[in-house]
Structure formats: structure tokens, C-alpha cells
Amino acid sequence: MSSTSVDLGFQSNLLYVIINSMAETKVGGTVWHVEDGDSWRNIVSSILTRDGHQVVSTPNATEARRMIPDDLQGVGVSILDGDLGDGTGAEIAGLIRQSQLAIGIIGLSAGNTPWADASLSKLSFDAEDLKATVDRFLGTQE
């Protein structure tokens, strides 16, 4: 399957990425996605759900703080936006690490994410990169 890049300025491209990500599914793990943008939450959830993962979406840092650590049992990897409006991905990553939960941290942001274990750029978003990065943390590569 070929890789698909998206310019998120066009809604039709979002649909194109979702459709192209539906071709293969597998049994996956649980992903926690913290993102304040509705469009990003929807596309990441759609791609990963179609790829066989369970996705728990959280719309802001306030809710994310409340969930750590009790509501994250069974989560294998988190995808954190860098700027959450009411907090930052770096702050949430720090709380995950303090909780001592074994959760990988992927930064998905337009900026740098040195606080993450792996980074994906919103500026050159690629559905295949997203799936491969999540699979690497969850051990669900085919």
C-alpha cells in the first residue's frame, strides 16, 4: 500500500486519507489520543480504528489530567497534541511518566515535540506513518 500525504487545508483530502487507510485491518491495542481539534481527533480515530485499534479520545488537557493514571489501564501508546489550549502535550507527557505507566508517547504537532518518544508532524501528515508508529509501540506490526 502506498503512503498518502495530506494538506489539511482541504476537507476532501481528509476523506481521501481515511478511505485509503481502510484497506487493511488487524487486531491492535489501545491508543489514547489527546487533541483539542475536532478534525484531528476524528481523522486519527478513524485511521487507527480502521487499523484495528481501540482509540480513547480526550478533547483537552483538563480531562487528560483527570484520567491519569486510573483511566489509562490497558493503554499502550498515547498521541498528544503539542498545544492543547488549556495545557500542553509536554505537561501531559510528564504526568504519564510520573505515573510510571508503561505508555509510549507520540507527539503529533505542527511544532517540535522533544518531550515525546516519537514525533509526527501535522504539517506533513501521513496516515501510513501514523499507523506504523503506533504499531511499533504496540507491537502490532504485520
Q: Is 64 within a domain? A: yes
What pLDDT is recorded for position 140? Answer: 75
Q: Note the pTM of the prediction, 2 decimals.
A: 0.81
The string of pLDDT tens digits covering residues 69-94 is: 999 999 999 999 999 999 999 999 99
The string of pLDDT tens digits covering residues 91-141 is: 999 999 999 999 999 999 999 999 999 999 999 999 999 999 999 999 975
Q: Which domain holds residue 130?
A: 26-138
**The domain that contains 125 carries what CATH number?**
3.40.50.2300
Q: Is the pLDDT of residue 5 over 80?
A: no
Q: Is 11 within a domain? A: no
Number of domains in the chain: 1
What pLDDT is recorded for position 56? Answer: 97
Q: Give whole-number Cα distances, 43 to 67, 74, 90, 91, 102, in Å.
A: 22, 22, 22, 24, 25
